[in-house]
């Protein structure tokens, strides 16, 4: 086993690589991929179970307070610098609030109405939408024909799975409030 230690900015990145054989490298890759499936997939299931018993905002606040405390304790034990300027703290607070409240809290509220698997699928498709919007609006990324084919296939698959969950879109029109689009899902 070979350990590579790299310093970038204030963070120390430790990469553990296996130099023994291709089969052990493949095994490590499969284990890591399996861990991502378990931890990422169980997050959505855990949120689905939790919001049945705990209000979503309280559940998220408790979850992130515990996680933040553990991460802070690790940083202190490892000797990492956790002192930041006020400007950096404000920037971190803005990003943290957007990610945690804008992403995870709204996801927790959404999981009261849609199945957790569908929520995970919709969240997994977000990078596709960012690439599409970045290409169309900013023009920073030129998507190749193969990339467009992959995006189209991913979008078609997402729509197919949504259709298999018997999703329907209702348009309600109210004279005083305008039109509302409502995406409804029936639990199987």
**169 φ, ψ (degrees, to nearest 5):** -110, 120
Q: Is 181 exposed, middle or buried (0-12, 13-18, 19+ CB in 10 A)?
A: exposed
Mean pLDDT score of the chain: 76
Least confident span in 11-20, 33-42, 94-103, 123-132:
11-20
The model's pLDDT over 74-96, given as tens digits with 9 standing for 90+, comes to 999 999 988 889 999 999 889 88
Inter-CA distances, 164 with 107, 168, 188, Å: 21, 11, 10
| Gap between the terminal Cα atoms of the chain | 48
Residue 56 has a pLDDT of 93
Q: Above 70 in pLDDT, residue 10?
A: no
Question: How would residue 5 be classed by pLDDT, with cut points 50, 70 and 90?
Answer: very low
Residue-wise pLDDT tens digits, 140-184: 667 778 877 887 887 788 778 777 766 554 444 444 444 444 455
Tokens (6 digits) for 29 = 């890759």
Q: Which residues sit opposite 178 in a β-bridge?
A: 174
């Amino acid at each position: 086993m070979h350990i590579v230690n790299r310093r970038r900015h204030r963070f120390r990145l430790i990469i553990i690589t296996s130099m023994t054989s291709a089969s052990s490298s493949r095994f490590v890759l499969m284990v890591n991929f399996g861990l991502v499936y378990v931890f990422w997939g169980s997050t959505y299931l855990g949120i689905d179970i939790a919001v049945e018993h705990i209000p979503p905002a309280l559940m998220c606040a408790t979850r992130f307070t515990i996680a933040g405390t553990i991460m802070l304790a690790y940083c202190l034990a490892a000797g990492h610098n956790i002192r930041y300027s006020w400007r950096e703290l404000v920037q971190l607070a803005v990003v943290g609030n957007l990610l945690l409240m804008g992403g995870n809290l709204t996801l927790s509220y959404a999981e009261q109405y849609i199945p957790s698997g569908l929520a995970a699928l919709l969240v997994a498709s977000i990078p596709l939408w960012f690439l599409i919007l970045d290409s169309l609006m900013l023009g920073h990324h030129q998507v190749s024909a193969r990339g467009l084919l992959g995006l189209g296939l991913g979008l078609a698959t997402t729509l197919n799975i949504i259709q298999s969950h018997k999703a329907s879109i209702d348009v309600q029109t109210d004279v005083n409030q305008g039109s509302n689009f409502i995406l409804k899902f029936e639990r199987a």
